[in-house]
Amino acid sequence: MADEKLVYDGLQRCPYLPGRVARMPLYRQERRLTLDEADQRFASSERRVGRALYRVQCPSCDECKGIRVPVAAFRPSRSQRRVLRRWKGRVRVEISPVSWSEDKLELFQRHKRERGLVEEGEQPMGAIGYVSWLVQTCMHTAEMRYYLADRLVGVGILDLGRTSVSSVYFYFDPTPEVARLSPGVFSALTEIAFCRRTGREHYYLGLYIADCSHMNYKASYRPHELYVDGEWQPVGEGPLDDG
């Protein structure tokens, strides 16, 4: 395509499953995509990093599957409703175009470090890395900021389409007083509520991998659909009765 350029296409160690080889061709976008074009890319299970998009095309493994929630059909499970109650009346949520600040970068670094998400030999992300990955964008991108008593405790990055939203990344304050509130669950439910409030049909959660504990939690948002062999296939009919 004239409006994009292949900047990387090589084999690499799979970041999700040990012993696997991954291929994720990366295409830099030469212009900002329209809302309708973003919907089309989301529907092809493409993900964004900076101004580029990629889709998993691994040579000998098909465990990574795109996952999305049909917003109108979604119903929170019992445990998800409990999470909503924990935050009710305590949190302030602000939404605006994505941006960089020192306090966001510090929170991002603490989340990675204190939750054990830093890989061996990985250097802490600085301002340039944060901006080039999350703030510089080829889409209409927004952020949701979560505050408890005027204290920033979470930031979610969202790519917007006309009829859908793709969740890019969420990071939060790793202190026990915040972590025990299940901020990741609350942010996903808040983003789904945003989709419903703005009349959007689908909420994309990225990739689902059944055998990866960092990725398989996404199946708890039901009903959902998985991207299999180029088609979205429904999975489940209602919320989990999870106690």
For the chain, domain boundaries: 4-64, 67-235
Which residues are registered as beta bridge partners of 169? 157
- Confidence at residue 240, expressed as pLDDT on a 0 to 100 scale: 59
Dihedral angle at the C-alpha atoms of 54, 3, 6, 19, nearest 10 degrees? 10
Can you tell me which residue has the tokens 């900076």? 50
The whole-angstrom separation of Cα 171 and Cα 177 is: 15
Angle, to 10 degrees, between the axis of helix 78-87 and the axis of helix 183-197?
Answer: 90
For residue 241, the model assigns a pLDDT of 60
CA atoms of 145 and 65, how far apart (whole Å)? 28
- For domain 67-235, is the CATH number 3.40.630.30? yes
- How many CB atoms are closer than 10 A to CB 129? 14
- The predicted pLDDT at position 42 comes to 98
State the pLDDT at residue 157.
98
Per-residue pLDDT of the chain (243 residues; tens, 9 = 90+): 568 999 999 999 998 899 999 999 999 999 999 999 999 999 999 999 999 999 999 998 999 999 999 999 999 999 999 999 999 999 999 999 999 999 999 999 999 999 887 777 778 889 999 999 999 999 999 999 999 999 999 999 999 999 999 999 999 999 999 999 999 999 999 999 999 999 999 999 999 999 998 899 999 999 999 999 999 999 866 655 665
pTM higher than the cut 0.75: yes
Residue 175's pLDDT is 96
